[in-house]
Amino acid sequence: MQADAPTAGEKSVKSGNGAPTNAMKPRLMRIVSAHDETPDVRTLRLQHADGSPLHAWKPGQFGHYTAFGAGEAVFTIANAPTRSENLECSFRAIGKVTFDLRNLKPGQTIGFRGPYGNHFECEAWKGRDVVFIGGGIGMVALRAPLQWVLDNRKDYGDIVILNGARRVADLCYKAEMPQWASLPGVRVVRTVDPGGQEPGWDGEVGLLPQVFEKLGLATGKRTVVTCGPPVMLHYLFLSLAKLGYPPAEVVTTLENKMKCGLGLCGRCNVGRHFVCVDGPVFTWAQLQALPKDF
């Protein structure tokens, strides 16, 4: 969120030749491939159905994905623009739209609107250590900035990836983790909630904030990038405060319900800011200044 960013309501009425195009109408995209990350999280790789090149996007931006007949759902663009062969999304099948999206096969068509929203200021983290803390489906929102950082590896210091889920089966991007962990200066720590472990589990057992505290990472020149359920963030922020992390160096995303992505439909606001336009990326310092409406 930029402090001086105009809110969506400040856009003026265009008329005559400057008439806006119908931003509610999606572009058609073809599913190139699809695979399951967990029992209920699926990743789609997408291309424009008409073969035209993908629009540019930045890590942290999101889209509205259509399963025609079911409707639209909102999730982040899960890959970095440094790996822009396809546009990827990962989502949890939890409602009408996402169940339909999960059942679509490669070659079939979905709708896409976006990219929308602000983005992670990855450029601003240059020269710093970065720790990514992803809880459950929250890991999906971190994959694009993580890929960006890994693809510009020399610009960044030590990288720690802390990924947690309720159960081993619910950990996202299991197939990619070993590759990330093999890169120099990258440490991957995985944890599951107590009771979520299974035979052969070699990761941690414990809630993410506790595991994070145990890592004993020095605050120094470290940026924290995190996404997870509200209850996880609540306790993580308590841990971060205890460890003395400056709120301006902690970055997260808000995932409020949205219907338009354009600052019009009125449901994602936190105070006078619309998450879809002024977010979804906020620093902890910015969240502290907002009404507790998220």
Indicate the residue among 8 and 250 with the shorter CB distance to other proteins. 8
What number of residues does the chain have?
A: 294
269 binds other proteins (CB under 8 A): yes
Pick one of 2, 17, 19, 195: the residue that binds other proteins (CB under 8 A). Answer: 19
CA distance 235 to 133: 13
Which segment (95-103, 115-123, 177-185, 242-250) binds other proteins by CB under 8 A? 95-103
292 binds other proteins (CB under 8 A): yes
Distance set, CA 215 to CA 44, 87, 188 (Å): 33, 34, 11
Q: In the range 204-233, which residues lie near other proteins by CB under 8 A?
A: 229-230
Beta bridge partners of 9: none
The neighbour count for residue 28, using CB atoms within 10 Å, is 13
* Closest distance to other proteins from the beta carbon of 136 (Å): 9
291 binds other proteins (CB under 8 A): yes
* Closest distance to other proteins from the beta carbon of 145 (Å): 22
Q: In the range 65-94, which residues lie near other proteins by CB under 8 A?
A: 66-73, 92, 94
Q: Count CA atoms closer than 13 A to 291's CA, side-chain side.
A: 9
Q: Comparing C-alpha atoms, which of 191, 127, 135, 136 is closest to residue 159?
A: 127
105 binds other proteins (CB under 8 A): no
Pick one of 260, 276, 281, 287: the residue that binds other proteins (CB under 8 A). Answer: 260
- Based on its alpha-carbon atoms, the radius of gyration of the chain, rounded to whole angstroms, reads 19
* Closest distance to other proteins from the beta carbon of 270 (Å): 8
Element containing residue 103 per DSSP (H, E): helix 96-103
CB-based burial, 60-97: b 16+ in 10 Å, e otherwise: bbbbbbbbeeeebbbbbbbbbbeeeeebbbbbbbeeeb
Which segment (3-11, 76-84, 190-198, 210-218) binds other proteins by CB under 8 A? 3-11
52 binds other proteins (CB under 8 A): no
Count of residues that bind other proteins according to CB under 8 A: 55
Q: Comparing C-alpha atoms, which of 120, 117, 172, 190 is closest to residue 149?
A: 120
Strand order through the sheet with 222-227? 204-205, 186-192, 159-165, 129-135, 222-227, 250-253, 281-283
Which segment (123-131, 160-168, 177-185, 261-269) binds other proteins by CB under 8 A? 261-269
Pick one of 267, 285, 288, 289: the residue that binds other proteins (CB under 8 A). Answer: 267
* Closest distance to other proteins from the beta carbon of 170 (Å): 13
257 binds other proteins (CB under 8 A): yes
Q: Comparing C-alpha atoms, which of 208, 187, 206 is closest to residue 195?
A: 206
32 binds other proteins (CB under 8 A): no
Residues making contact with other proteins (CB under 8 A): 7-16, 19-26, 28, 66-73, 92, 94-95, 98, 100, 109, 111, 229-230, 255-257, 259-260, 262, 264-272, 291-294
